[in-house]
């Protein structure tokens, strides 16, 4: 499993700290190839991370922008990405275990300790396996593929 990470200019410092911590824990972390600057735009980072995450179903993404909302919206435009903006451990667990998220978004002002706790919960949580959750995730996938016909 690889973990792809990207941030706009607001999240650069938090991203660096997260990368260092996760590498120390033995994770394979891949930073975006895009360069940050004061005029960068969060959709570019969301699209790059998303495109990489969908190449392998076991890979995950972490995205950071001012508050995590914009970058999560952009990431969800990448076919196959289910990105959730998360604010807590419970959000991280449910995003992955209930909603099949393969990417999370956090705000740049989140304290490092909180971010790492949330990220570790996300990484360590098993994928959705309960039938009720899988049914809902599959509806989303079908809609995305243009094959949903239950309306």
By annotation, the residues acting in catalysis are 65, 98
Residues 6 or more apart whose Cβ sits within 8 Å of residue 12: 36
Measured CA to CA, the distance from residue 143 to residue 42 in angstroms comes to: 25
Q: Contact 6/48 with Cβ under 8 angstroms?
A: yes
Measured CA to CA, the distance from residue 23 to residue 79 in angstroms comes to: 28
Q: Contact 140/84 with Cβ under 8 angstroms?
A: no
Measured CA to CA, the distance from residue 5 to residue 53 in angstroms comes to: 10
């Amino acid at each position: 499993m690889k973990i792809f990470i990207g941030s706009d200019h607001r999240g650069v410092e938090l991203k660096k700290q997260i990368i260092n911590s996760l590498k120390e824990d033995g994770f394979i972390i891949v930073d975006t190839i895009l360069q940050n600057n004061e005029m960068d735009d969060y959709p570019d980072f969301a699209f790059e991370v998303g495109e990489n995450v969908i190449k392998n179903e076991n890979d995950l993404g972490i995205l950071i922008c001012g508050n995590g909302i914009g970058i999560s919206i952009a990431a969800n435009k990448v076919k196959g990405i289910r990105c959730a903006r998360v604010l807590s451990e419970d959000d991280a667990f449910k995003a992955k275990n209930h909603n099949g998220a393969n990417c999370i978004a956090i705000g740049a002002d989140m304290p490092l300790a909180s971010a790492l706790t949330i990220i570790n919960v996300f990484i360590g949580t098993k994928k959705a396996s309960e039938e009720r959750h899988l049914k809902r995730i599959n509806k989303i996938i079908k809609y995305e593929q243009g094959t949903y016909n239950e309306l």
